[in-house]
Structure 1
């Protein structure tokens, strides 16, 4: 039977709601390797999950709620080029040129950075040193807090994130001067480090949320990254071939609501039959392609009884 002869679709008023460009996250519980997970996410959503800041990380943690102790693939993998980035992230933190306002003193092949005498110095991430935190809840010079204890770079970062906001950035000349006053001539860690990690969707985000035991030295790290749902969302490197659940992301810029009325010409037809529902989706996709260019996703939303459709009563003509 040809479904097109059995069903008549009438599209009504289409209204558009702008939802912003924030990312949304979906947990796929069926385990896959990192590469297979990326293919699935690209085919069905946008890509494996990426995060611009800790606010988006909270959205990811909400998606994996209840999966304590489980490793979940995200869209970070090891590339071949080391890039400098600040630990402190945020959409409005950096003005033009401020992310690369580097005034170098000591240049080596090390991956972490200290500040002393108005300049940046490449140091080993394992050397015990003090540091300077940034506290976004305070104002003026009070936002810059000296860590007196000697720690490794990763431990300094974790301390700042736990007690303040993060290790400080040095975005402009004024901040260089402020941090110089706070550090009192000491050689202190700041939030600059470099690594080869890259996001699958080419996001330029510098956000890193490694577990405390992770090292910045990536020479011996595995090539893919998973989120640890039982450790406040901290990340770890893993063998890419291991099969794990994974997080996909998608961005809704313009969400179109389309009112559709379905008239059944055959009373024996079951709208909850998967074959019938697939035919309905194909017909709706055909209509939507005429106005959207084909960039959309459709799926049935079911109720608590597992059904997408409920029969409309003549006495109570509610929505189908």
Structure 2
């Protein structure tokens, strides 16, 4: 009975959702994109960044009282192409077929375990990922963007492939359902768009045939005036209302022990950050690059008497992102208190360190 109660409590704790970690502010003044960027940086964090569909829903709620008008967000055309996963996962692994990526095409299919870049308007079947059920083979012919929309509406997103093992698993999954080895879309794409706050968010919500760079001068992005509030590329010199965002995660570039960092966050903000989901880990990854130390303190600590890691919120560690060899019960834990930190480089995984180490840290304003 006690064991059943424990597992029930565990499931309940692990299902608690988090607060949104970015707050949007709709500014009705009309400004050019550069003027809007300057205003947001002076008064908030930056022009709005959008990480996922939940952010987009929140953004639409923020601006809907603005009526039928175009509204600036923080996405601007850059000069260099960058590869992204549709899901927002970091691009840590590539498995191109010989001679790929070739040409100027921007979307990726997989065939017999290898990847090829092709025009995004080509129609193929595709693989979605569902956070509850895993991989989903969709035997419908769609272009890449329609496939992406289908996966986001019905599952989680187009599939990401983060390492060789996942690539092999996906290859077997496709072969078991499509023994001919036909090409299928995966979630890898490239574009030249960059967020004003230097976020690595790969979320895009373009309207049909957008971005079209009409007359070669449309380098900034608006959410458009139409009902679905999708995105258009527009000349940066036009004047529109705009949306700023206020990021609730702050990297403190002071080298403090874990206890000192905790005291600082609670005196000046709210607390050291807890990372209880993939989405929060992505937000941490976006800000931790500002750190000056190789690792950054989180609100994660080990209770030796309970033989478990807990967040400062009191929540158990459901979502985990430990580096290999970390996350287990530390040896001699009664003699040395261990705390959790996130690496500021590489895969940005979590590591266990003595609390006396002096590191930068992340405070939250929630």
* Shorter-chain TM-score above 0.5: yes
Whether the aligned pair in 1 keeps the contact of 2:25 and 2:244 (CA below 8 Å) is yes
Aligned to 1:81: 80
Shift in alpha-carbon separation, 1:205–1:151, aligned structure 2, 3 A: same
Shift in alpha-carbon separation, 1:245–1:37, aligned structure 2, 3 A: same
The correspondence of residues 1-320 of structure 1 with structure 2, limited to 5 A, is: 22-67=21-66, 69-89=68-88, 94=89, 99-105=91-97, 106-109=100-103, 110-138=105-133, 143-183=134-174, 184=178, 185-214=181-210, 222-228=218-224, 230-253=226-249
SS in structure 2 of the partner of residue 59 of structure 1: helix
Aligned to 2:281: none
Residue segments in structure 2 that go unaligned for 5+ positions in a row: 1-17, 250-264, 269-366
SS in structure 2 of the partner of residue 64 of structure 1: helix
What is the number of equivalent residue pairs in this alignment? 229
1:204 & 1:158 partners in 2: Cα distance?
20
* TM-score (normalised: structure 1): 0.64
Shift in alpha-carbon separation, 1:169–1:221, aligned structure 2, 3 A: farther
2:52 & 2:60 partners in 1: Cα distance?
13
1:85 & 1:116 partners in 2: Cα distance?
19
2:211 & 2:128 partners in 1: Cα distance?
19
- Report how far residue 230 of structure 1 moved: 4.4
Whether the aligned pair in 2 keeps the contact of 1:111 and 1:217 (CA below 8 Å) is no
1:158 & 1:212 partners in 2: Cα distance?
12
Whether the aligned pair in 2 keeps the contact of 1:38 and 1:48 (CA below 8 Å) is yes
- Report how far residue 216 of structure 1 moved: 8.9
Shift in alpha-carbon separation, 1:186–1:201, aligned structure 2, 3 A: same
1:117 & 1:87 partners in 2: Cα distance?
21
- Report how far residue 189 of structure 1 moved: 0.8
Residue segments in structure 1 that go unaligned for 5+ positions in a row: 1-18, 258-320
* TM-score (normalised: structure 2): 0.56
Q: What RMSD in Å do the two structures reach over aligned CA positions?
A: 2.9
1:29 & 1:100 partners in 2: Cα distance?
40
